[in-house]
Amino acid sequence: MVTEHGIKFGVHLITKHFGKIVAKVCEKLFSHGPLTLDQLVRYTDFTKDQVRNSLLVLVQHNCAQAFVSAPQDDDDDADRLRVRTQYLVLFDNIIHRLRFPKFLDIVSRKLDEECVKLLVGLLRDGRLTLKQMVDRESQGKDSSIYTGREKESFKVSKRVMEG
């Protein structure tokens, strides 16, 4: 079980990384536990598309997990046939986002530049298929998302984690 301060910190990280709408969906998942899309729409007062897109972001970045729940005993036959997808927030994976700078540092010291570009793409975009990774590289996108002030922030957070 996640503490109240843990929830606030997790929501803060999601806000910084993905924005307020995604953070509110995440907060509702923290406070209510596993929820369906319809329940999240009801609790957040966002449109179904906003909630769906927020869930896609959270799942893409492995901050939430979708699963199919078993039918309830009190469900009638029509409800038993309907698939109920619920979403669960993954607190540990959200907290691991703080370690991204350290991961980048280790990869940059031990492996070549292509590995760093691949890792940066995965950290920025979440899950990628092999085709998406190849397409990113062939398009020559600048995969360096961490520039200027962000690099300094990562250096400071790295020192805090190691110290």
Band the pLDDT of 147: cuts 50, 70, 90: very low
What is the structure's pLDDT at 154? 52
Domains along the sequence of the chain with CATH: 4-89 (1.10.10.10), 97-162 (no CATH)
- pLDDT band at 157; cut points 50, 70, 90: low
Burial class from Cβ neighbours inside 10 Å (0-12, 13-18, 19+) for residue 107 reads middle
pLDDT digits (tens, 9 = 90+) for 24-82: 999 999 999 999 999 999 999 899 999 999 999 999 999 999 998 776 656 566 556 67
For the ranges 9-23, 81-95, 108-122, 129-143, the maximum mean pLDDT occurs at 9-23
pLDDT band of 160, cuts 50, 70, 90: very low
Mark residue 140 as left, alpha or beta (left: phi above 0; alpha: psi -120 to 50; beta: remaining).
Answer: left
**Which residue in this structure is represented by tokens 């449109």?**
47
Encode pLDDT of 101-129 as tens digits.
898 899 999 998 888 888 888 888 888 88
145 pLDDT higher than 90: no
Task: Give the per-residue pLDDT at 80.
Answer: 61
State the chain's mean pLDDT as an integer: 82
Tell me the three-class secondary structure of 74-127, residue by residue: CCCHHHHHCCCEEEEECHHHHHHHHHHHHHHHHHHHHCCHHHHHHHHHHHHHCC
Give the pLDDT band of residue 94 (cuts 50, 70, 90): very high
CA distances in angstroms from 41 to 16, 38, 110, 130, listed in the order given:
22, 5, 45, 33
Identify the pLDDT of residue 141. Answer: 56
